[in-house]
Amino acid sequence: MTNTTNLIVEFKPGSIVSNLLMFLACAGESNSRKCTELKNDVLVMPKTQIFQKLVHQKADTIKSVTESKLITCTACSGTGKYDCVAKMYNGDTGKYDPLPAVRMDCQVCKGVGEVDPVVLTARAEAFEAFWCSCGNPSQSSSYVDDNTPDAACSKHHYTCNDCGKVTQTG
């Protein structure tokens, strides 16, 4: 565990300066210390002098600042890795055969194995909002083309006809 202390900075809604501060905060430190942008009004950043100074300077646009520490990522149990298992349709047997697992960086902690609890919750919610988890009882889905306005993602994908969430991308 690195025991990095993060600052969770909540900006006042609609604050224009928040975007500038986010830009400065993200650009001001090396990659390993980059802040994690969650959504427009909340930012998680390492508690370093440069960030503390920025927060202090922009105090008029900030709603609250709280501290938190990184915790072991629950999505990968701290390994930073994730085994992606895909299945391929076999026309001869009419069944889906599993392909060899592909080891990937965990998308929740970005391969680090640790994550801020606030970031963990936000990413878990984003995951839940994007992917179908209803089991697709009707077994029917709809095709959505590349760059369809208001679609869940810009890449072509399939959505579940039962819950409307994404079942497959690409």
* CA of residue 82 relative to chain centroid, distance: 15
Count of residues binding Zn ion (CB under 5 A)? 12
In whole angstroms, give the CA distance from residue 163 to residue 167: 10
Contacting range for Zn ion; rule: CB under 5 A; set: 7-15, 42-50, 137-145, 154-162? 154-162
Contacting range for Zn ion; rule: CB under 5 A; set: 4-12, 28-36, 90-98, 158-166? 158-166
Structure token digits, residue 53: 């100074």
Q: Should residue 120 be labelled a site residue for Zn ion when binding is judged by CB under 5 A?
A: no
Indicate the residue among 21 and 132 with the shorter CB distance to Zn ion.
Answer: 132
Contacting range for Zn ion; rule: CB under 5 A; set: 34-42, 49-57, 140-148, 157-165? 157-165
Residue 166 makes CB contacts below 8 A (sequence gap 6+) with 130, 131, 132, 152, 153, 157, 158, 159, 160
How far does the chain reach from its first CA to its final CA, in angstroms? 36
**Which spans of this chain sit near Zn ion (rule: CB under 5 A)?**
73, 75-76, 106, 108-109, 132, 134, 136, 160, 162-163
